[in-house]
Structure 1
Amino acid sequence: MINNQVKQIFQQDTAPEWTLFPEWWLGEFSEATRGGVEPYLFKNILPSGFPGPEEITNTFRLIQKMRDVNKAHVRIYIGEERRDDLVNKVVESQFFIEESLPDYILRITGEKRFSLILNRLQDWSESLTASVGTFLQSMFIQRGVPLGGSEMVVFAGNYAGTAFGVHRGFEHAFLIHLGPGKKEFHCWSEQLYKKLTGSLEPTFGNYEYLLSHSEKFILEPGDILYLPALVFHVGRQEDFSISIACPLYTYPIKRLIKQIFFNLIEQIPFDETGSSPHQNFTFSTNPLQEFANSVVENILNEWTQTQIPIILDDYWFRLISNGGFDLSEISIDEAGQEIGIVSPMSLEANSTIRLKKPYKICWSSRNCDNVNFQVFLRGHSVSVPYSEEMIRLFKHLNDGDEKTLNDFEGIIEHVKKISQTKGFEIV
């Protein structure tokens, strides 16, 4: 009975309509944050119907149902101490349906004050993925998509101070406050923090002396705090509350290139047949330099003309099709590979479908033959026969339209295959 209730709640399509148009980012947001470089608290900005704290409780129940501690990405802190020894107990113990999350944690751990952190909320809550993803996409249209995408990280608890102490993040972020309690948030610029502490290292333990020098924000349910990169900060609260952090991963592209090259280098055969020519017997010049350079040049030319474009296509279209949420669970060396996911949807002529928010359909013909093309949805890819009818369907769905299917050129069977990504819903 409990599992059925959790499943029903998880599958609800409760994405509210945001009133934030892309122009808002160029106007009010840019002015309030001075172009995105200063923190700012946007009061009562969450739309009516935005999921509340109960959605996080339901999500935690779903995680318990799956009983996959590794996939759950759960961390527990008591004070500033990370307690990995409590994670299994918290994930696997019985969570009574009438219990609140704080009461459950108290009963299982014996601790009245705690911090529970859950990464990759987008893997668990469809309603929050739809709601937050819609918010982020309105920003992407005007400010662009961060190279590494974004994710949702839950901070739940009644902790006296953030477990990481007074610290800085290295990416811009939004902190969406669900409540029910308030949260006190303190911020310092790098320059001021270094002047006060003498370093840029985090401050743990007693940092009361810093608080009077901070810029203080009081987060209430419905608020969103914009937190720029490198701003030192700490959150404090007396009562239980839940916030969702959405970092924007703008790491250097060299990190992505390094991962691509690492995987490609692994593909160079070590035991290749054949032999290398003898080199000149010299004492002041190195004949290997010219020889090795020519081999490296040939390898790089082949990679840049063939494999690297395919891998970059695959990475980018997976990211965009996943609503801009990061792909850390999808290895980059899966480029071009189709993923077996779930059984296809039951579709027939006159079935009406739409995309689940915030997902988009992307497509590419770079890694296909003359008949098929690669279609990306919800971070996964499948190969289907190309047709202009399919492209028209994709464009309508990306525009938010509901489309009734016909069986022109066997299109329903192709849509069924794409539906294995779980990116469609029947209207």
Structure 2
Amino acid sequence: MDTLIPEVISAQTITTKYNIDDAWWEQFLQTSNNLTSTTVVKDVMSDTECGEMETMVVKAIREICKLKTDAYGFRAYQDGKKMNWQQLENTVFLQPPGLGESLEDWAKRIFEDKKFGLIINSGEKFSSELAQRLAIYASPLLKKMGIPLNGLHTTIFIGNYGKTPLGIHQDHTGANVIHFHLGPGGKIMYNWEEGLFKQLLNGREKADVPLEELLPHAKDYPFNRGDIYFMPWNQFHIGQSDEFSVGVTLWFDNHTRRRVLSNIFDSWKLQYVDMEDMNIIMPEKSMHELHGFQDIGAVLKMDERLKQKTFPEFLKTVYEELMYSLFSNAGWSTCPLSLTQEFAYDEDNYENLDNKIVQLLHPFRILYRHVEEEGKLHLFARGSKIEFNYHPEIVALVDKLNEGEALDISHIAHEIFSEMPKEVALYILSLLYNRRSITIVAPHESDPD
């Protein structure tokens, strides 16, 4: 397959200066009382930005349709009812948006004149361009506030569904939602303070209280195309979208310690447990001669270095690797689709990269650490961990890429790799390219700031 993949080339380093910069976030934090008060900021994004982000959303939907997956929380509603899997297969998945087709035109083609709503979680996974744009927007905020321990994620809301299909609800503890509204239609969010809402229920279940009884007591926050709406986690809320509109939300979540620890355990299982092992274990016969753990322990993928650690030390190691992954991915909790997943790219055909010009995908970075006792080098790129035998020339290559300049691969290999063969450099670059950490740029595109 040709290495120059059109949709990848279109994801070049973005150099446009946006309103959402360090000064903007400083003002936003003041207005929202450091992410504790609901607020609307008007006219933040230009029509061009909104149009570009809508195109990125279209791509995310196209990829979800191609994969036919709801594994990351894709939901569709029609006339107020959630569509089942068979309906998704026969309508949405079967007819993805065409290249160049607008989101609104696609929605009319699929849902005709029906009221509908789409909720897409982890949109950043299915559109690397969307992940990049939001990462650029959020970068100054992360420098000020830090990266949440469970990372960032998005939820995309699309439709003309009227009131939010989920009904009045409260987000999980610690959630902070930053809503980028792309329009074209406007939206209204109704908020109730936590204490007031419980008083209004007066011991009743939410489902038993008519919305009409509650709405007069809500604060309403209308917003339109190009506006940004923010809401902290402790607000009960419901949205209203009577006209077709698209909203992309960035979740800056400060989770509970228990939830973060659960995520660390999930990461441990992913990396250090053979989840494919299907061997059948035998029952225990005697409490005095327990043999079963030997079988259970056989699924652990732990080297001698890790086996020597105490349990808290081992968890700390997993935590550190999780942080390396988050920081390399500009805070995103999910890795983007690889080029192999999206385009059937073969990273072993690394010779196709020879004589190309590559550049780190802004604002992401490649992080690394040297595990000296094993002689290993761990690279972290867009959330993925890649392991090599340690060599200082690999470190020099990564340091050069992290400078952000557009680099001619033939020059990189010649200048940095004096001991290791050029093919090693090409292979490493192919791995990074496959994980969308670097991109191929045209010869005339130098690296602006």
The TM tier, using the shorter chain, reads: 0.7 to 0.9
Sequence identity percentage? 21
Is residue 81 from structure 1 mapped to residue 81 from structure 2 by the alignment? Answer: yes
- Of structures 1 and 2, the one scoring higher in RCO (CA 8 A, sep 6+) is 2
**Match for 1:317 among 307, 311, 324?**
324
Structure 1 pair 151–426 and aligned structure 2 pair: CA distance change class (3 A): same
> Do the aligned partners of 2:92 and 2:110 also contact (CA within 8 Å) in 1?
no
Q: Normalization by structure 2: what TM-score?
A: 0.73
Structure 2 spans left out of the alignment, 5+ residues: 275-280, 290-306, 338-343, 442-449
Q: How many residues align?
A: 385
> Do the aligned partners of 1:193 and 1:200 also contact (CA within 8 Å) in 2?
no
Q: Normalization by structure 1: what TM-score?
A: 0.77
Partner of 1:92, secondary structure, is coil
Counterpart residue number, 2:294: none
> Do the aligned partners of 1:76 and 1:117 also contact (CA within 8 Å) in 2?
yes
Structure 1 pair 400–202 and aligned structure 2 pair: CA distance change class (3 A): farther
Alignment of 1:16-415 (within 5 A): 16-25=16-25, 27-46=26-45, 49-50=48-49, 51-64=52-65, 66-71=66-71, 73-84=73-84, 85-95=86-96, 97=98, 101=103, 104-105=106-107, 108=110, 112-170=114-172, 171-198=175-202, 202=206, 206-258=210-262, 260=264, 302-305=310-313, 307-327=314-334, 342-343=346-347, 346-348=352-354, 351-366=356-371, 369-370=374-375, 372-395=376-399, 397-398=401-402, 400-404=404-408, 405-407=412-414, 408-409=416-417, 410=420, 412-413=425-426, 414-415=428-429
* Greater Cα offset, 206-215 or 219-228: 206-215
> Residues of 2 paired with 1:230 and 1:108: CA distance?
36
Cα drift, residue 425 of structure 1? 0.6
> Residues of 1 paired with 2:101 and 2:273: CA distance?
51
> Do the aligned partners of 1:165 and 1:202 also contact (CA within 8 Å) in 2?
no
Structure 1 pair 343–81 and aligned structure 2 pair: CA distance change class (3 A): same
Q: Deviations over 1:159-215 (max 9, x none)?
A: 110011121112111111111111112222112222323359655884133333322
What letter corresponds to residue 127 of structure 1 in structure 2? E
> Residues of 2 paired with 1:377 and 1:31: CA distance?
33
> Residues of 2 paired with 1:13 and 1:238: CA distance?
33
> Do the aligned partners of 1:41 and 1:224 also contact (CA within 8 Å) in 2?
yes
**Match for 2:433 among 416, 419, 423?**
419
Q: Say what the alpha-carbon RMSD is for the aligned residues.
A: 3.7
Partner of 1:115, secondary structure, is strand
Cα drift, residue 31 of structure 1? 1.5
> Residues of 2 paired with 1:389 and 1:348: CA distance?
18
> Residues of 1 paired with 2:103 and 2:309: CA distance?
56
> Do the aligned partners of 2:335 and 2:383 also contact (CA within 8 Å) in 1?
no
> Do the aligned partners of 1:90 and 1:108 also contact (CA within 8 Å) in 2?
yes
What letter corresponds to residue 412 of structure 1 in structure 2? A
Cα drift, residue 149 of structure 1? 0.9
What letter corresponds to residue 437 of structure 2 in structure 1? G
Structure 1 pair 142–200 and aligned structure 2 pair: CA distance change class (3 A): farther
> Residues of 2 paired with 1:361 and 1:201: CA distance?
49
> Do the aligned partners of 2:182 and 2:225 also contact (CA within 8 Å) in 1?
yes
